Amino acid sequence: MLKDQIQSLLAQVEAMQASSAEEIEALRIQYLSKKGEITALFNDFRSVPSDQKRELGQLLNQLRQEAETRINAMREQIANSQQQTANSQLDLTRTPDPIALGTRHPLSLVKEEIINIFSRIGFTVAEGPEVEDDKHVYGMLNFAPEHPARDMQDTFFIEKEPGVQKPTDILLRSHTSSVQTRVMTSQKPPIRVLCPGRVYRNEAISARAHCFFHQVEGLYIDKNVSFADLREALLYFSKEMFGAETKIRLRPSYFPFTEPSAEMDISCNICGGTGCSFCKGTGWVEILGCGMVDPNVLESCGIDSKEYSGFAFGMGVERITNLKYRVKDLRLFSENDVRFLRQFESC
Ligand code: DAH
């Protein structure tokens, strides 16, 4: 009789026990799958006389529902107890997994070393915008209006309206000397600042040139500042950066914003000055430009050139890094190849 079968299955279902997800699944298959025992009763139900259909149909549905409810309840119970064991296995006293640390970029290391060295003789850091105007990058620094540095080949001009190239006086600064003018127009002497930052020039990218690189500018304005002060400051810097045995050499040069101007070489720190392929046999390598701030520059920034004088210098951070760590290809600095960066981990 179908009714007896339903009742005996109901008793079985009510007594179902399982201690794992696999056992629960086995019970589900046994009773509720396509070939399960309860499903089989639904097939038998088709041949039940119609006057019994109502009663037996209800009983069958109750049986199936009971089986489903019990199976779901058992599943939930197992999941809960698994979570509880997982929680009780948490060791809150354990040290966390080490976080993978990145490395400092060699340009940052060298920049900070430069700042550190100059901070010991009283220089503080000043910063200025990378998107600048012509006035601060060239005009106030005594560049003649037709100076070739302004030319499109060197300077990235910013279009005021898309597609309209010139005339525009907004540009990406091509040197950090622009920060000199910002500082001189906003501070009163004595001024002793170091201006580190990124600069841009319209150059084809190669091992030796890039369209952006980094400079550190130095500026010192006070009463009675002389060329000897400049020389002493740079000698001190060179010895601190490259070793106590380092010598310096100043060669006359030209920059619009300094008069007189010079370029500074240090004795080659690879061969010690005897001559090698790095210094092309000369024993010297160039590291920076410098000079006494041109009175025109002081005046254009509102500083009385009869009362004050000063010196300035500018160096390329990539160049110093190359000398210190022998990085010969400029492109390595901006590729973010972690194998390159990891070599500076202990620096
Ligand atoms: N601004 C120069 C350049 O980008 C570097 C420089 C030279 C800066 C002489 C100075 C300086 O302050 O006195 O090539």
Strand 191-200 to 170-172 pairing: unpaired
Rounded to whole angstroms, how far apart are CA atoms 270 and 113? 20
**Average pLDDT value over all residues in the chain:** 91
What was the pLDDT predicted at 165?
62
pLDDT at 163 over 80: no
Q: Which of 91-105, 123-137, 298-312 is the least confident region? A: 91-105
Question: From the CB of 291, is ligand 1 less than 6 Å away?
Answer: yes
Q: Which fold has domain 106-344?
A: BirA Bifunctional Protein; domain 2 (3.30.930)
* Confidence band for 166, pLDDT divided at 50, 70 and 90: low
pLDDT at 41 over 80: yes
What is the residue extent of each domain of the chain? 2-88, 106-344
| Span from the CA of 244 to the centroid of ligand 1 (angstroms) | 25
pLDDT at 218 over 70: yes
Q: What is the mean pLDDT of residues 245-252?
A: 96
| Span from the CA of 21 to the centroid of ligand 1 (angstroms) | 75
The answer to whether the bond into 98 is cis (omega within 30° of 0) is no
Q: Which of 153-157, 164-168, 236-240 is the least confident region? A: 164-168
pLDDT cut 70: percent of the chain above it: 97
Name which residue leads in pLDDT, 229 or 327: 229
What was the pLDDT predicted at 26?
92
| Span from the CA of 107 to the centroid of ligand 1 (angstroms) | 19
Question: From the CB of 178, is ligand 1 less than 6 Å away?
Answer: no
pLDDT cut 90: percent of the chain above it: 63
Torsion of CA 206, 212, 216, 217, to 10 degrees: 110
pLDDT at 99 over 90: no
Phi first, then psi: give them for residue 188, nearest 5 degrees.
-100, 145
pLDDT at 151 over 80: no
Around Cβ 292, how many Cβ atoms within 10 Å?
19
Q: What is the mean pLDDT of residues 17-43?
A: 90
Q: What is the mean pLDDT of residues 308-332?
A: 93
DSSP 311: E
Q: What is the mean pLDDT of residues 268-297?
A: 92
Rounded to whole angstroms, how far apart are CA atoms 38 and 151? 89
Q: Which of 25-34, 80-89, 112-121, 206-215 is the least confident region? A: 80-89
| Span from the CA of 278 to the centroid of ligand 1 (angstroms) | 23
Q: Region of 275 please: left (phi>0), alpha (psi -120 to 50) or beta.
A: left
What was the pLDDT predicted at 167?
65
Q: What is the mean pLDDT of residues 269-281?
A: 87
What was the pLDDT predicted at 189?
96
Q: Whose CA is nearest to atom 13 of ligand 1?
A: 290
Ligand 1 closest atom vs CA 314: 8
pLDDT at 194 over 90: yes
Q: What is the pTM of this model?
A: 0.72
Contacts made by residues 87-91, CB under 8 angstroms, sequence distance 24+: none
Rounded to whole angstroms, how far apart are CA atoms 296 and 310? 12
